[in-house]
Chain A
């Protein structure tokens, strides 16, 4: 018995002795094919450039990670972990589990020049309480994906203004085509529509005030957003039964030519192309202007890397974060991911019209929203998205829903 215990202790000793200085433990949620490949590339390249560091990489299941990170940040902290920007990182920052990395953002003179300059447009979403808490490495655009052939067949050109957009919907509806497809079973797709309607009707500042809880949901400006939404919901321009469909299931009508548009993130392009659409019949346009003169802000959810405050090897972790922010590294990983680099000096994969359009749009964006469920705190986001879904099924309940959301707001942002 004693021997067993001793050998167990020895084994444990061997295991734990592998984590001496020079080992960098990285936890990621990159279980999907492309993100996994991207991180394989990053780690290999980082080890090549830093032969003194050995990386130990733990891949978690994408969904399970949201639960695991809450445990491992406390009990078994890695040196680097990936997460999301905006309010999504607030619980961890508030609990003191993420390390303040403002020095990386401030320090100029390292590898690739001043970070704050190259990533100025993303700095806001990494800032809480005047400090930066991580490094963004990829994002993607949101907008309207549409069937070019259906537009041409019905004599519609890409709408630039709200009136054009509503008119296009009316034409499509009259032709027996569902103007906008959406699958709201998992709620978040409705938030994409709400965010854009609010960003375009009231602008970025108001949208942030709302998601930060500074404005009541019963505010006339919020009513104005729903007035615009009414113009789409009441005539039935959205897909019927959207509450029963996931976002992927709602792609089917678009592939079949029964629906013409989808307010979505760029990740929808891959499944649409797999289902048979080509660059010739699938297009992208920026969500049209609603209130003239309001600067165009866009939706661009950002993925980030952070250093847990209980990390053992913070020196190498910082080296890794700096490495991740470099233009050449971001360029390569985003080529693998099929997404957009944050660093302004990176270029994107050639020959992909969607990425090109996205990069062009985001580089000229006035500001970037992270998406409703990342900008607003979790409880508000979940109630809000439920409300949006209910509104889209029952537009006459608008007042009741907004009053309920206002009640939630007063509780959440005490």
Chain B
């Protein structure tokens, strides 16, 4: 064939490999920036965690000293424990978001307006939400003060108490997170196959049974996404803590992300090595979780393809 075709000789290397190469050319800008701004800093940061460095003076290699110190640091354990609280209670956003989505998924007059009002907390800045909730919680003149007085907790300050501060912040954090899950589920509900529901009804399924066995499985992708964004949101819960308590009272509402910032970059910090060690621990936790989910996603997709 090729011998008969005079043009065949003129096929260049580029033409031969075009299909193989072009995706990489299109990917290149993304890959380059991703490696410069995401991948490389991870390794640099892990590297810094073996040094003692204030950002100004020359850095001193200290080996695992920062990690050893971390193991003996009360505030580190408090932060870790709070991260766990965040992971558990932040998950409430998923079922509440689902419940609201089902509630809002109906066709009545003005439902669009009502839906957009429910989206609203997701649109406004976390900083604004943090500030407003701080005012809500204010003892004596906050919005919830009359309620607290009623149950006999006069002048009780949620954010000043070491036992309640974290829950107060999580509660404020749930407000936009529920809206986020709500959006995910509303789009999921749009894609539900009405025929399946119809068929289920004919077979006598109704109420919770219908929801659990027919609707929920179809929302699998939305659920997956909602859980992923909520877990990531819980692990990097930084802004709310920074705005509402700055980790206080005395470090009892700290989370790893904020503790890292406090040690490395705040006014009294500039312990770059120690901050990086905390960051590395946080990164490891996230990595386990992300790998687990990537693995599950991969498995699901393979099942779908079969």
**What class of interface size applies to chain B in its complex with A?**
20 to 34
Starting from the known contacts A187-B248, A379-B271, 16 additional A-B residue pairs (CB-CB under 8 Å) come to A70-B56, A74-B56, A91-B57, A240-B157, A243-B160, A243-B248, A243-B249, A244-B137, A244-B157, A382-B269, A386-B250, A387-B250, A389-B248, A389-B250, A390-B249, A393-B160
B155 at the interface (CB under 8 A from A): yes
Task: Flag if B139 contacts A92 (CB, 8 Å).
Answer: no
| Option from B56, B74, B249 in Cβ contact (under 8 Å) with A393 | B249
B185-214 near A? 1/0 per residue, CB < 8 Å: 000000000000000000000000000000
B226 at the interface (CB under 8 A from A): no
B55 at the interface (CB under 8 A from A): yes
Q: Look across to chain A and name the residue whose beta carbon is closest to the beta carbon of B267.
A: A66
7 contacts between A and B (CB under 8 A): A241-B139, A243-B248, A244-B159, A378-B269, A389-B248, A389-B249, A407-B72
Residue picked from B160, B245, B265, most chain A C-beta under 10 Å: B160
| Option from B72, B138, B249, B268 in Cβ contact (under 8 Å) with A378 | B268
**What count of chain A residues pass the 8 Å CB interface test?**
32
B251 at the interface (CB under 8 A from A): yes
**Which residues of chain A are within 8 angstroms of B162 by Cβ–Cβ distance?**
393
Task: Flag if B69 contacts A373 (CB, 8 Å).
Answer: no
| Option from B156, B249, B268 in Cβ contact (under 8 Å) with A382 | B268
A95 at the interface (CB under 8 A from B): yes
B239 at the interface (CB under 8 A from A): no
Task: Flag if B157 contacts A95 (CB, 8 Å).
Answer: no
Task: Flag if A70 contacts B55 (CB, 8 Å).
Answer: yes
**Which residues of chain A are within 8 angstroms of B156 by Cβ–Cβ distance?**
241
Q: Look across to chain B and name the residue whose beta carbon is closest to the beta carbon of A377.
A: B268
Q: Please give me the 5 A-B residue pairs with the lowest Cβ-Cβ distance, nearest first.
A: A382-B268, A244-B160, A390-B250, A243-B160, A241-B157
Task: Flag if A241 contacts B56 (CB, 8 Å).
Answer: no
**Which residues of chain B are within 8 angstroms of A389 by Cβ–Cβ distance?**
248-250
- How far is A67 from B270 in the complex, measured between Cα atoms in Å? 10
A148 at the interface (CB under 8 A from B): no
A35-76 near B? 1/0 per residue, CB < 8 Å: 000000000000000000000000000000011001001100
Instruction: Give residues of chain A (91-105) contacting chain B, Cβ–Cβ below 8 Å.
Output: 91-92, 94-95, 97
Task: Flag if B54 contacts A244 (CB, 8 Å).
Answer: no
A147 at the interface (CB under 8 A from B): no
- How far is A328 from B89 in the complex, measured between Cα atoms in Å? 62
B35-60 near A? 1/0 per residue, CB < 8 Å: 00000000000000000001111000
- How far is A92 from B157 in the complex, measured between Cα atoms in Å? 40
A404 at the interface (CB under 8 A from B): yes
Q: Look across to chain A and name the residue whose beta carbon is closest to the beta carbon of B140.
A: A241
